[in-house]
Structure 1
Amino acid sequence: MFLLLLLFLINNQCFSLDLGTCRAPLGIQSGAIPDLSFQASSSLDITLGPHTARIRSAIEGGGWCPKTLIDNQSEEYLQINFFNLTVITLIETQGRHGPFQEDYVDYYRLEYRRDPTHPWIKYRDFRKKEIFHGNSNNNIAEIREILQPIIAIQLRIYPIQSNDKKAKRMCLRLELYGCLSDDHLISYTIPQGDRRSFDMDFSDKTYDGYLSPLTNGLGQLIDGDIGSDDIRLDTQSWGLRGFEWIGWKKTIKNRTFIPLKFYFDSIRNFTEIRLHTNNMFSKDIEQFHRINITTYFNENFLENKHIIELSNDRQSEHARWINIPMKEQLAKIIHIELTFGNSNWMLISEVQFISNDILDMKLLSQLNGKNLFF
């Protein structure tokens, strides 16, 4: 089926991941995350197992303690398994309950994955920093912000010691904060963005997959950080102008379009795609001229194609959302081609997918059947 849409919607009231509200406790303290969701590399004894790592609680021995002393090379970990893809924006840690003043985690790092069959990913922020400060005693809880939110179905916390301190026993209780992932996105594949000037780099600086090219990862396109109208602003005060934007220059490789491919955790019923783009035409930046969308059940089974033509806008330089209705299109993979307009640069800061679960179990069984894919 081939669909031509000449009408597009611009809506400045559209939002993707809302970092202001995605900060709720995920359920470690409350028990919403059950004991079976906890695993660990080891435990000092049965009363200090992973299920005791609930913050502000006094379960059994008072927290998870690994069997070995922790130094700067330790590989002991506590693992949390979620039921669904989850966005993690904050982590709160606390030492062991009771009169164990030294039984706390001094530092830690994080690893995660969105598919239990894929390799683990080390968390690094945009500055490539991966170590978090933990606690200074066993009683007072400390909360740390995860600057680039983690999207995961499994998370590991690795206690570590600094290079200048001797190994010690470390114990942990914790809470995680965030929200469910509405997009159900596990990875995207895109060309790396281009540098515009010495202090303005439009590359995807937080991408957590392979880098040449960008594959099997997620990054700035789904981090909830919405780009401003003026690309020259340093909105985060990080010394990085236009940090929120990923952009491509048409003349670098004489290209006419940019391909983007998005992979989801299941076949879903899509009702809308939203792309946030820049239109600062006075700086040679323009919204895309055409959007080609192809949906797939898997890499080998094409379901549908859409073409959306956009009019040039030389009146407003406001950044805007482009909302594309999908009319309940079923897909597990979505391929988008963005065609350059008349300007030399094309920028996007966020992509959002609105979709629903497939409630018809018979249909879902048919879609997942081997006869469909092979």
Structure 2
Amino acid sequence: MSAAQCIAPLGMESGLIPDKDLTASSSFNDGNVGPQNGRLNQDIKSGAWCPKPQITTESTEWLQINLHSVHKLSGNTNTYLEKKNQLDPPIWASKIRFIPYSSHRRTVCMRVELYGCYWSVGIVSYSMPKGNRRSNGVELTDVIYDGQWGDDLLRGGLGQLVDGQFGGDEIREAAKNSAWVGWRNDTKPPVLTFEFDKIREFSAVHLYCNNKFMRDVQNSRNVTIKLHHRIGKWVRIQLHFSARWILISEVVFDSGKPLTCYIYNTPIFIGHKIQH
């Protein structure tokens, strides 16, 4: 799902997120300004969460929201004055902490809402070579990747390939917006490994690629690979060069819960009659 579609309020204001899923490092008064009161547009008790100490540049007070499952978050709203902040790029999380900050020591109170959607895709992480830079200086690495960065390998995180942002035809302009990841053919053919939250049945994978052959980049705009209902928790994609570059903007899987088959066995008793 694209960031433009993933903008639904997740339940702070409506109460869909229950009080038991709201915690805080401290509260000035648990009953009146505890974490359960930090809901946008809700005047419950004193109408906000207020941490016990005053806030400075070095404060570590926090308000935490437990969503229990991974969600894609595209923005948050906070108050003193209500302001909506778009998260670009979006983040994936099952728990969120708000940490108030102030350049001057002051008392701070907060009411918040989260915007996003349930991460039904089920991708927990992917690993791959980190990409290269073109001779014209265009960076084709996964700049928003949130996992571990090795010398040549990205491991254990999520980034551009699943952010819902599809690159345009103009590579140089799209690269500025973190749209493409690219590998040059003087490196090893890239291997992409995707880990999912649970065992799934896969029918296809779609690779959104660039097809500007005159710019020495291979592959068609949207390549679909049938996976023939294979079942697993990991998917490994091996790419091969037929030109100088491979550029990929997005990887989308068609998958779902595998069908469960039950085999019922009728016991068969084999015996013999004992002669007396």
Question: Normalising by structure 1, what TM-score?
Answer: 0.66
Q: State how far apart, in whole Å, the 2-side matches of 1:220 and 1:248 are.
A: 14
The answer for the alignment partner of 1:39 in structure 2 is 23
> Which residue of 129, 132, 135 maps to 1:191?
129
Question: Do the aligned residues in 1 keep the contact of 2:160 with 2:178 (CA within 8 Å)?
Answer: no
Equivalent positions of 1:42-191 (< 5 A) are 42-47=26-31, 48-94=33-79, 138=80, 140-162=81-103, 165=104, 167-191=105-129
- Tell me, yes or no, if structure 1 residue 244 matches structure 2 residue 244: no
Instruction: State the Cα distance separating 1:64 from its structure 2 match.
Output: 1.0
Q: State how far apart, in whole Å, the 2-side matches of 1:283 and 1:339 are.
A: 18
Instruction: State the Cα distance separating 1:193 from its structure 2 match.
Output: 0.8
Question: Do the aligned residues in 2 keep the contact of 1:200 with 1:242 (CA within 8 Å)?
Answer: no
The answer for the alignment partner of 1:348 in structure 2 is 248
Q: State how far apart, in whole Å, the 2-side matches of 1:203 and 1:357 are.
A: 32
Relative contact order higher in (CA < 8 Å, ≥ 6 apart): 1
Instruction: State the Cα distance separating 1:146 from its structure 2 match.
Output: 0.2
Change (3 A) 1:359 1:85: farther
| 1:244 alignment partner AA | A
> Which residue of 9, 19, 40 maps to 2:3?
19
Q: State how far apart, in whole Å, the 2-side matches of 1:323 and 1:29 are.
A: 41
Instruction: State the Cα distance separating 1:61 from its structure 2 match.
Output: 2.4
Q: CA RMSD in A?
A: 1.9
| 1:74 alignment partner AA | S
Change (3 A) 1:73 1:184: same
Misfit runs of 4+, over 4 Å: none
Q: State how far apart, in whole Å, the 2-side matches of 1:44 and 1:360 are.
A: 52
Q: Which moved more, 1:322-331 or 1:40-49?
A: 322-331
- Bigger Cα Rg: 2
Change (3 A) 1:39 1:271: farther
| 2:76 alignment partner AA | I
Question: Unpaired segments of 5 or more residues in structure 2?
Answer: 264-276
Aligned residues: 260
Q: Please state whether the residue corresponding to 1:336 is helix, strand or coil.
A: strand
Please list the CA deviations of residues 312-338 of structure 1 after superposition, one character each: whole Å capped at 9, or x if unmatched.
xxxxxxx51212232332211111111
Question: Unpaired segments of 5 or more residues in structure 1?
Answer: 1-16, 95-137, 288-318, 364-374
> Which residue of 215, 219, 224 maps to 1:283?
215
Instruction: State the Cα distance separating 1:230 from its structure 2 match.
Output: 2.7
Q: Please state whether the residue corresponding to 1:282 is helix, strand or coil.
A: helix
The answer for the alignment partner of 1:10 in structure 2 is none
Instruction: State the Cα distance separating 1:90 from its structure 2 match.
Output: 1.1
- Tell me, yes or no, if structure 1 residue 225 matches structure 2 residue 165: yes
Instruction: State the Cα distance separating 1:267 from its structure 2 match.
Output: 1.4
The answer for the alignment partner of 1:270 in structure 2 is 202
Instruction: State the Cα distance separating 1:241 from its structure 2 match.
Output: 4.2
